[in-house]
Amino acid sequence: MDTNAAAPAIDVQGLECRQGERTILHDVTFSVAKGELFFVIGGSGCGKSTLLKHLIGLLPVAAGRIAYFGRDFTTAGPAARREMQKSFGVSYQYGALWSSMTLAENVALPLQEHTTLTADERREIVRWKLAQVGLSGSEDQYPSEVSGGMRKRAAIARALALDPQIIFFDEPAAGLDPITSRSLDRLILEIRDNLHTTMVIVSHELPSILGIADRAILLHRDVQGILAEGAPRQLLAESTDPRVHEFLAPEDVTAAPRSP
């Protein structure tokens, strides 16, 4: 995808998100810098997943604009939108792996769909992507044969298959124990630092939010949009809005380390 070197990776202006006739979010404006680890946070029902679906093009925009690297995604034609979407990787909640396929076959799917690589070339890339997420030797296992954390790692490998410029994560730590969740946070940091990939993470998991986020937007149902924006620890220290503290300051939160 052609990019504007001076433009942010993602630029959202005045976005309105609806489901049918109901407005879920309105006047949402934010940007994500290249290489940033950016979180979309908030309680249940605040619109986090709805926003994600609009960002990746699964739901139509009611009003406003989304641009990627200076290119308008909202008004682009179908062919241009598909081309832009090839620069996205998406890791869905609970992995969303095909149960009838091995981990290698799952990771190979985007390569089969969007490239003209030979079978041998695809196998080599799949082995490399699984190695990047710590799953060397697991190529022939099925999702039902591995742990939840391994399924999440395989889903990340699939999201990396096309060397995306942006990876979107939907609740990556959902269903994981604290130790596995911290390990996944470290993996996300490693990928960002090694590949300089922009990361957008939808989450309500406070250890991850406080442990690895560069910056976040906090969505809230009261405002049907962004209640606060900034580095989570800075928001916790400086915000005077009790709703920010209600979300970010429960009694016992142990943050994941910033780096391995």
Q: What is the DSSP string of 12-30?
A: EEEEEEEETTEEEEEEEEE
pLDDT at 92: 85
Per-residue pLDDT reduced to its tens digit, 104-122: 999 999 999 888 999 999 9
Q: Give the pair of three-digit tokens for residue 13.
A: 């202006």
3-state DSSP helix/strand/coil % of the chain, to nearest 5: 35, 25, 40
59-77: average pLDDT:
94
Q: Which helix (H) or strand (E) holds 205?
A: none
Q: Is the pLDDT assigned to residue 259 strictly greater than 70? A: no
pLDDT classification of 252: cutoffs 50, 70, 90? very low
Q: Are 205 and 219 in contact (CB under 8 A)?
A: no
> Residue 94: what pLDDT?
65
Distance CA 55, CA 37 (A): 16
Beta-carbon count within 10 A of 96 CB: 14
**CA–CA dist 96, 180 (Å, integer):** 18
Higher per-residue pLDDT: 28 or 97 = 28
What pLDDT is attached to residue 45? 86
Q: How confident is the model at residue 197 (pLDDT cuts 50, 70, 90)?
A: very high
Residue 38 has pLDDT above 90, yes or no: yes
Q: Name the band, by pLDDT with cuts 50, 70 and 90, for residue 193.
A: very high
pLDDT at 12 over 80: yes
Distance CA 122, CA 116 (A): 9
Task: Using a pLDDT cut of 70, give the percent of the chain over it.
Answer: 93
253 has a pLDDT exceeding 90: no
Predicted TM-score (pTM) of the model is 0.90
- Asked whether the predicted pLDDT for residue 123 surpasses 90, the reply is yes
Give the C-alpha distances (Å, rounded to integers) separating 48 from 13, 39, 102, 118, 123.
16, 10, 31, 38, 35
Q: Which residue has the higher pLDDT, 254 or 205?
A: 205
Place of tokens 């003209």: 116
Task: Note the pLDDT of residue 158.
Answer: 95
Token digits for 104?
Answer: 């290698």
Q: How confident is the model at residue 139 (pLDDT cuts 50, 70, 90)?
A: very high
Q: Write down the pLDDT at residue 3.
A: 64
Q: Which residues pair with residue 170 across a beta bridge?
A: 202
Query: Helices 148-160 and 178-195 meet at what angle, rounded to 10?
Result: 20
The pLDDT > 90 percentage for the chain reads: 80
Side chain identity, residue 91: S
CA distance 229 to 36: 14
CA distance 125 to 117: 10
pLDDT reported for residue 250: 63
User: HSE on the CB side for 79, CA within 13 Å?
Assistant: 0
Alpha-carbon separation of residue 171 from 84, 113, 202, 236 (angstroms): 23, 25, 5, 21
pLDDT of amino acid 101: 94
Quick one: average pLDDT of 86-90? 92
